[in-house]
Amino acid sequence: MIGATNQLHLYDHFGACEWGVVKERIRYLAHARGVRLFYLDHVTALAAAFDEERTGLEKMMPELSRLMKELDCWMLFVSHLATPEGKSHEEGGRVMAKHFKVSRAIMQWAHFMFALERDSQGEDSNITTVRVLKDRYTGRSNGLTFPITYDGSTGLLREHGPFNGEEDSPF
């Protein structure tokens, strides 16, 4: 269990956060505690603290990229989605990279982009499609999808059925 090993560090910002403060917390955790994996939920809320969200995110993303390289760390962050034309995301509409809020900076600096698609109103509302939108490492995963479902008895997510119509999942 993570809690038993003291390997999980949560930062509660009490609803007020600034990029400079978060950046220094990341630096501290990497140096003082040896943390190498960070989760930021969510990057668009952090960018909203700037006077202009777009310019804030355009400033943050290259700094975040340099910080991860400097500290030899990895970060997964969550982003809000812009409202698409056509089918809504809540109804299972396909997510595209351009739907990420203030997406240009995210598309430019992210090494990987993943989308979670689910029709929260449909019959199969427990099935989520994971879509690989960007794979800077090899590019071979771009466009791949696989379904996952939540297993209430174990509390885990698991693959649900075949991967892109194939029997064997590459994951």
Together in a domain, 55 and 123: no
Together in a domain, 24 and 52: yes
Together in a domain, 161 and 103: yes
Together in a domain, 92 and 164: yes
Let me know if 70 is exposed, middle or buried by CB neighbors in 10 A (0-12, 13-18, 19+): exposed
Provide the number of structural domains found in the chain: 2
Mean pLDDT of the chain: 84
Query: What pLDDT was estimated at residue 166?
Result: 53
Together in a domain, 97 and 168: yes
Together in a domain, 9 and 40: yes
Query: What pLDDT was estimated at residue 14?
Result: 65
Together in a domain, 123 and 159: yes
Together in a domain, 66 and 108: no
Residue 142 identity = N
Domain that holds residue 139: 81-171
Query: What pLDDT was estimated at residue 169?
Result: 52
Together in a domain, 62 and 144: no
Query: What pLDDT was estimated at residue 164?
Result: 55
Residue 113 has pLDDT above 90, yes or no: yes
pTM for the model: 0.80
Shortest CA distance to 53 belongs to which of 19, 88, 20? 19
Least confident of 3-12, 23-32, 37-46, 141-150: 3-12
* Residues forming a β-bridge with 74: 37
Give 133's pLDDT tier (boundaries 50, 70, 90).
Answer: very high
